Structure 1
Amino acid sequence: MRKRHGSYGFDAPWALAGLLFGALVLIGLAAISFAFDIIAAGIAFLLGALYTLASAASYLYTTRRGKFVVWDAELGRLKGDERLLDLGCGRGAVLLMAAGRLDRGHAAGIDLWRAKDQSGNAESTARANAEAEGVSDRVELVTGDLRDLPFDDGAFDVVVSSQAIHNIPDTGGREQAVREAYRVLRPGGLMLLADFQHTPAYEATLRALGVVDVRLRDAGWRFWYGGPWFATGIVEARK
């Protein structure tokens, strides 16, 4: 995996902050318990703090490195001349990695740029990252809703998304986003949807559309947001 030159922030920074705050609270409770000679409670609180710190470390690793390693492997199948769309591109972590492989192709990213989903999430940040990575000449950034993509049918050879579709709060909206992703994908094109929630539903939506070449698989420990209970699944499909 080549060195990254952009700044990609943290996924759902409030969640990471919550884990770190929880660990501090548990450490404080352990200290109080030991001070009052309540040894069993102190040990329990201390073990809870260590467990929470381990979850925070897993989360931090995934958001800063692990997801890049996973996506670098996934994008290794690109030939270099594809038209690729990244749904919910944020600061460009996946989008710009893909663009770096598309020396004869083009990459588009679409997002609503909400900071609660990713720290410092803004179109200007994604654009600055594209400049830093040296791929701005082959990248297009679009502000838009995943449920109503402003692209023609079959406009892209590849459609990807990383931890974005789950941010749509309702089931119907998420289904619509998957249907839109399918609509803008050309026949024979590749779809890769990575998420830690709702991936079985994404697969079901694609099967309801008549997609036969679709499967759900585990992205592995590098894409855990705190532990295996927040593991990322990848829906892979061919149109």
Structure 2
Amino acid sequence: MNYDLATRPSARPRGKYGVDAPYVPAIYGALGTVLLVWGVVSRTVGGPAVAPWAFCYGCLAFLAAGLYMYATLRGKFVVWDRLLDDLALGGDESVLDLGCGRGAVLLAAARRLPEGRAHGVDLWRSQDQSGNDPSVTERNAQAEGVADRIELHTADITRLPFENGTFDAVVSSLAIHNISDAARRTTAIEEAVRVLRPGGRLVIADIRNTRQYRADLQRLGLHSITRRGVGARMWWTGPWIPTTVVSGTKPRWPEVPLRAVTTTE
């Protein structure tokens, strides 16, 4: 890789990237507090023998919140450093991040592109990530020293405002599962493949629907398709909500038959 090793992306991020789905750790934290208070009160007043159970479940709730906060504040950065390293970018490519949010993956990609460009697409909804706003992403880009390497776009990932074969790589982290309708999720996958150049790599990390993504990539004719878990660094409250990565390469010839689009911006 040709990016400057002095600014290698494995360093701790310098921006402020918020919390993914911030209501989740808040709920677990509140539940843990209620259970521990219940256990203390029960033990104090000599009520039913619920104190041990309340303490146990209260601690588990706090543990779940802690695992979630680690995943969103640190774990996902470590995982994506490895995934982006695996792309073996030369430094002059064009990369697209679907659902870029505050820029955790987008800016990590941009740091690998001293002569390239990283594009981020989002609808900027704060329920998906706290403080989700393009101005925040731009400030993070300044903090990371890559403001001149990124472009932000407000768009729906089921209808991307780009021509066919625009990007050398397309990535997405914890975004496509936010689309509730299976048909629209498939459309998002089709759009990602459409804007990917022949020979380009698509990498999706998500907590649900990854078997559907793999089936969609197989139907669309991609090759070297993989589906694998990324381990405890991206457990969202525990091993019952793991992150799985699906990836595939668009064939160089023949190209995947996809609809042509005319874009206006």
What is the TM-score normalised by the length of structure 2? 0.88
Deviation at 1:23, TM superposition (A): 0.5
Farther off after superposition, 34-43 or 19-28: 34-43
Q: In structure 2, what is the equivalent of residue 210 of structure 1?
A: 221
2:109 to 80, 83, 98: 98
1:157 counterpart residue number: 168
SS of 1:11's equivalent in the other structure is coil
Relative to its length, the structure with more helix (as a share) is 1
Paired residue type of 2:61: T
Q: In the alignment, does 2:159 pair up with 1:173?
A: no
Q: Are 2:206 and 1:195 equivalent residues in the alignment?
A: yes
Q: Which residue of structure 1 aligns with residue 194 of structure 2? A: 183
Matches of 1:136 and 1:234 in 2, distance apart?
Answer: 28
2:223 is paired with a residue whose SS is coil
Partner SS state of residue 171, structure 2 = strand
Q: How does 1:41-120 map to 2 (within 5 A)?
A: 41-76=50-85, 77-120=88-131
Aligned residue in 2 for 1:139: 150
Partner of 2:19: 10
Cα distance in 2 between the residues matched to 1:128 and 1:212:
37
One-letter amino acid matched to 1:105: G
Query: 1:40 & 1:209 partners in 2: Cα distance?
Result: 58
Determine the C-alpha separation between the residues in 2 that align with 1:210 and 1:100: 31
Could you tell me how far apart the structure 2 residues matched to 1:36 and 1:209 are?
64
Size of the alignment, in residue pairs?
Answer: 239
| Partner AA of 2:138 in structure 1 | R
Displacement of 1:180 after TM fit? 0.4
Separation (CA, whole Å) in 2 of partners of 1:100 and 1:2? 11
Which structure 1 residue ranges, 4+ long, deviate > 3 Å from structure 2? Answer: none
Distance 2:92 2:201 in 1: 14
| Unmatched tracts of structure 2, length 5 or more | 1-9, 251-265
Partner of 1:128: 139
How many Å separate the matches in 2 of 1:184 and 1:47?
Answer: 50
**TM-fit CA distance, 1:37:** 2.3
Map 1:17-32 → 2, pairs under 5 A: 17-32=26-41
The answer for unaligned runs of 5 or more in structure 1 is none
Q: Corresponding residue for 2:43? A: 34
Task: State the percentage of identical aligned residues.
Answer: 48
- What secondary structure sits across from 2:100 in the alignment? coil
Distance in 2, matches of 1:85 and 1:37, equals 60
For the residue of structure 2 that corresponds to 1:228, the secondary structure is coil
1:24 and 1:79 map into 2 onto residues whose CA distance is 49
Q: TM-score, normalised by structure 1?
A: 0.97
Structure 2 counterpart SS, 1:190? strand
Map of 1:229 onto structure 2: 240
